[in-house]
Amino acid sequence: MSLFLNLPFELRALIIEHVLYTPLNPPVTPLESEGMEYHDLEYRAWQGGGGKAYYHKQQNKTTSADSLPLLLTSRQLSTETQAILGHRNRKIDYILDVSVRNDLDLFLTWLSVPCLTTHVSTLYANVRLFGHIIEKRTVRNQLGDGGRLGFHWLFYAALERFLRYGPVGKKKRKGEEEPKPSGYRYRRNIQEFEDREILIDTLILDFSSAETELNFPPEDIEYKHWSWRHWGRDRLPRDQGVIPENLSSYTSRPEWLCEYLRGWISGLLAMSYHTSAYGMPLYEQIGTIRMLVDGELHSEFDLTARLDRLRFIDVHSTMGHLSRDEREAGFAKWKSETLVRREAQGFPVKQTSGGEGQGEVDKNTWI
């Protein structure tokens, strides 16, 4: 240890950072027994789809476990480790594994959670597909009032959790130390958690297949077949054929899920009547969104240009979460403040050339 402490501080800090920041290997398979659902906050995400989001327990590596030897070895090393862990203004990268099972359940594992910061350079989400294409009867159970309440909202819930709190485990309410007895209900006057408002310079979603037993569908089964299955329509228009009955005997192509979520994200960013409340945090807290398939760029969202193009058309076009009389002024105020906020956060900003408003609504706008 004396030899280590004799190293220059700059070199010693690099070694400490390497120990703390080296990421985990992703889970081999998404096992429900190794994860848990978090119901410790009221998500804004519309989660009526029947799918579940499991957050894996960090059994192999946690911040406390990795830092404990460094904290206990000597006072000097403990002080230096704490300084690195507590450097909250430093922008770092995070790596998240998102295992998708049977086009339905999400299993999330943070592969690098060395310290909590409020400004992330890159959030890299490795989206790996396991299992078979969603079954017809499962899709029917996910349909309800308002349209398709699918598992894409679980992706939003995972992102929402990170934007509000960061890569943390289950959060406890004030005064909550031990598990409460069955049937216990929290009083409404208990103070809710304070949002930390995490910023992300670049959000990367990289889609790949990790399924080892099932094959991809044959070439005559296309994205449209897979997409219509997710929308609960197993019979396509007459000129487009019929979805094969054995579709669920195959595994999904990663580019299909990428395209599926690309259209959905585009719909959120269109800030329509139903999606504006969900699109606002994306503009406010993310610089750029990139979507990859097997490491290759598939599409990129220029949030700056999209924000610049947004125009208010009428009270039926956007801000449906506000009262009718508040929508036009509320939209103008939000857009103006978001432009200023993005510039202050170091995000690329293109000043608007004309009045405030709503841009074209993407044809894939979903609710």
Phi, psi (degrees; rounded to nearest 5) at 143 = -90, 140
Total domains present in the chain: 1
Asked whether residue 250 is domain-assigned, the answer is yes
Q: Which residue has the higher pLDDT, 138 or 1?
A: 138
- Is the CB of residue 37 less than 8 Å from the CB of residue 55? yes
Judge whether 70 lies within some domain.
Answer: no
Nearest to 56 by CA among 94, 22, 30, 25: 30
pTM to 2 decimal places:
0.79
Show Cβ contacts of residue 317 under 8 Å, excluding neighbours closer than 6 positions.
Answer: 272, 273, 358, 361
Query: Looking at the domain assignment, is residue 221 inside a domain?
Result: yes
Model confidence at 333, pLDDT cuts 50, 70, 90, reads: very high
Which region among 40-49, 144-153, 183-192 has the lowest average model confidence (pLDDT)? 183-192
- Segment 102-119 shows an average pLDDT of 82
| Residue 183 counted as domain residue | no
In a domain, residue 184? The reply is: no
> Among 142-146, 209-213, 223-227, 305-309, where is mean pLDDT lowest?
142-146
Give 344's contacts (C-beta < 8 A, 6+ positions apart): none
Q: What is the pLDDT of residues 242-274, one digit of tens each?
A: 777 889 999 999 999 999 999 999 999 999 998
Longest dimension (CA), the chain: 77
Do 78 and 71 contact (CB within 8 A), yes or no? yes
CB 93, CB 174: distance < 8 Å: no
* Contacting residues for 212 by C-beta, under 8 A, at least 6 apart: none
User: Residues for the chain: how many in total?
Assistant: 367
Q: How far is CA 346 from CA 224, 273, 287, in A?
A: 39, 29, 8
- Rounded to whole angstroms, the Cα distance separating 314 from 241 reads 39
Q: Is residue 129 domain-resident?
A: yes
Q: Which residue has the tokens 């978001």?
A: 338
* CA-atom Rg of the chain in angstroms: 23
Question: Whose CA is closest to 66, among 3, 110, 97?
Answer: 110
pLDDT tens across 266-318, in order? 999 999 998 899 999 999 999 999 999 999 999 999 998 899 899 999 999 99
Instruction: Report the pLDDT value the prediction gives residue 1, as an integer from 0 to 100.
Output: 54
Token pair recorded at residue 242: 């019929």
Question: CB neighbours (10 Å) of residue 343?
Answer: 13
- Between CA 65 and CA 113 the distance in angstroms is 12
- As a whole number, mean pLDDT of residues 339-362 equals 65
Q: Which residue type, as a one-letter code, is found at position 266?
A: S
Residue-range definition of the domain harbouring residue 243:
30-58+89-170+192-344
Q: Is 76 helix (H, G, I), strand (E, B) or coil?
A: helix
Residues 321 and 315: their CA atoms lie apart, in Å, by 11
The residues facing 354 across adjacent strands are none
Does 229 map to a domain? yes
Please state, as a whole number, how many other Cβ atoms lie within 10 Å of the Cβ of residue 102. 19
